[in-house]
Amino acid sequence: WKQPVIVAVSGAAGQISNHLLFKIASGEVYGPDQPVALRLLGSERSREALEGVAMELEDSLFPLLREVSIGIDPMDVFVDADWALLIGAKPRGPGMERADLLEMNGAIFVEQGKALNAVAKPTCKVCVVGNPCNTNALIAMENAPNLDRRNFHALTRLDENRAKCQLALKAGVFYETVTNVTIWGNHSTTQVPDFVNAQIGGEKAMDVIDDNGWLENDFTPAIQTRGGLLIKKWGRSSAASTAVSIADAIKSLVTPTPEGDWFSTAVCTDGNPYGIQEGIIFSMPCRSNGDGSYEIVDGLEINDWLRERIKKSEEELTKEAECVSHLTGK
Ligand code: NDP
């Protein structure tokens, strides 16, 4: 048997985790021969709920699940972690400004970044889901200098999946026919779902869907605002599809990317080939050889339409980074 992969999950008593943890424990994420140890991070407020989650995981008799433990101190929970999935965050309340949210959640990610730095494996891969996820990931990264900056991700895979779904529905094809979809930028309404480089059945999506008006004026805002629409309809933010997309994001790093394709993940812009300001966490097209690392895919066509919108998302993230400079030491 292989050594268990140690996966720490924050917000483990929350809605997304309630779907994700069972996928991980079943072996569908890290592979059917890879044992897992789950370390669940919560707070005083969620301690009882966490115990309940751990009981459900144990009662499921997953053969690959070697350990479930719970804790409320990241310095305990992150010990020797191979992966940290940072899902817990304070949701935006009525009347709360984005800056307030950045500040409150920032404090959580300073503490967790420091704990990762102190006790996680230096190779630990970190995926931040809790919003505002790009800037939370930046804060964690800057507080964890012992970890490679390339180990930090913020989740934009849900946005990619949403874009693939809408392109497939419009073209009348199966989802897996849609490839090479990039989400550029921030996981916010400034994100840029890239239909210019997307492909459907190996052809340019713009040739298959010969309707620029729809791509620019319907598809793009639909993806940018789909999270908000779901909250309006469902009364809470997406949980099951988010968990699926986190599983997809991890699988994309632990299995080789199919030839010619790529996936979206928000990563540190240091040394990026698109001239995006360095030192922020920005969603870009990436490939992996399956060992948990990635490379940014170079050479995508950036036309004026894309460039203008990518710039807006870059400006938004640069402003967010300035707002939290006291938390990142920059
Ligand atoms: P939940 O409301 O279920 O909460 C998850 C956990 O966050 C809770 O268990 C709690 O953990 C912690 N939390 C809740 N309220 C507070 C608070 N006031 N202060 C501090 N921590 C708090 O959320 P979901 O699981 O539905 O979503 C988790 C995060 O993921 C949110 O930030 C959401 O915006 C984000 N998200 C990101 C997506 C993406 O694509 N990047 C998509 C969908 C959601 P505890 O008490 O144990 O600390």
Comparing C-alpha atoms, which of 32, 25, 99 is closest to residue 62? Answer: 25
For ligand 1, whether the C-beta of 237 sits within 6 Å is yes
Minimum-distance ligand 1 atom for the alpha carbon of 88:
7
Q: Categorize the per-residue pLDDT at 317 as very low, low, confident or very high, splitting at 50, 70 and 90.
A: very high
For ligand 1, whether the C-beta of 11 sits within 6 Å is yes
Average pLDDT estimate for 52-63 = 98
Q: What is the pLDDT of residues 74-120, one digit of tens each?
A: 999 999 999 999 999 988 777 777 788 899 999 999 999 999 999 99
For ligand 1, whether the C-beta of 130 sits within 6 Å is yes
Q: How far apart are CA 7 and CA 81, in angstroms?
A: 6
Comparing C-alpha atoms, which of 40, 115, 120, 39 is closest to residue 80? Answer: 120
For ligand 1, whether the C-beta of 242 sits within 6 Å is yes
Spacing, Cα 130 to ligand 1 middle (Å): 6
Atom 12 (ligand 1) nearest CA: 88
Spacing, Cα 147 to ligand 1 middle (Å): 24
Q: Categorize the per-residue pLDDT at 24 as very low, low, confident or very high, splitting at 50, 70 and 90.
A: very high
Res. 59: pLDDT tops 90: yes
In a mutational test of the pocket of ligand 1, which residue from 70, 90, 138, 263 has the highest number of ligand atoms less than 8 Å from its CB? Answer: 90
Q: Categorize the per-residue pLDDT at 3 as very low, low, confident or very high, splitting at 50, 70 and 90.
A: very high
For ligand 1, whether the C-beta of 239 sits within 6 Å is yes
Spacing, Cα 237 to ligand 1 middle (Å): 9
Is residue 187 part of the annotated active site? The answer reads yes
Q: Which backbone phi and psi does 285 adopt, to 5 degrees? A: -75, 130
Q: What is the pLDDT of residues 160-190, one digit of tens each?
A: 999 999 999 999 999 999 999 999 999 999 9
In this predicted structure, what is the pLDDT of residue 70?
A: 98
Spacing, Cα 198 to ligand 1 middle (Å): 31
For ligand 1, whether the C-beta of 18 sits within 6 Å is no
For ligand 1, whether the C-beta of 326 sits within 6 Å is no
Q: Tell me if the pTM is above 0.80.
A: yes
Average pLDDT estimate for 145-167 = 98
For ligand 1, whether the C-beta of 88 sits within 6 Å is yes
**Given the structure tokens 């969603």, which residue do they identify?**
283
Spacing, Cα 108 to ligand 1 middle (Å): 12
The overall average pLDDT reported for the chain is 96
Q: Where are the alpha helices (H) located in 63-179, listed in sequence order?
A: 74-77, 98-119, 133-142, 157-171
Atom 31 (ligand 1) nearest CA: 130
In this predicted structure, what is the pLDDT of residue 107?
A: 94
Spacing, Cα 328 to ligand 1 middle (Å): 22
In this predicted structure, what is the pLDDT of residue 311?
A: 98
Q: What is the pLDDT of residues 220-247, one digit of tens each?
A: 999 999 998 998 898 888 999 999 999 9
**Given the structure tokens 């592979």, which residue do they identify?**
31
Q: What is the pLDDT of residues 244-288, one digit of tens each?
A: 999 999 999 999 999 999 999 999 999 999 999 999 999 999 999
Minimum-distance ligand 1 atom for the alpha carbon of 159:
40
Spacing, Cα 15 to ligand 1 middle (Å): 8
Q: Percent of the chain having pLDDT more than 90?
A: 92
Q: How far apart are CA 168 and CA 181, in angstroms?
A: 12
Q: How far apart are CA 247 and CA 21, in angstroms?
A: 10
Backbone Cα Rg of the chain:
19
Q: State how far the alpha carbon of 214 is from the alpha carbons of 59, 78, 250, 321, in Å.
A: 48, 46, 32, 33
For ligand 1, whether the C-beta of 43 sits within 6 Å is yes
SS3 173: coil
For ligand 1, whether the C-beta of 91 sits within 6 Å is yes
Minimum-distance ligand 1 atom for the alpha carbon of 44:
46
Pull the structure tokens for residue 318.
């640069």
Minimum-distance ligand 1 atom for the alpha carbon of 41:
47
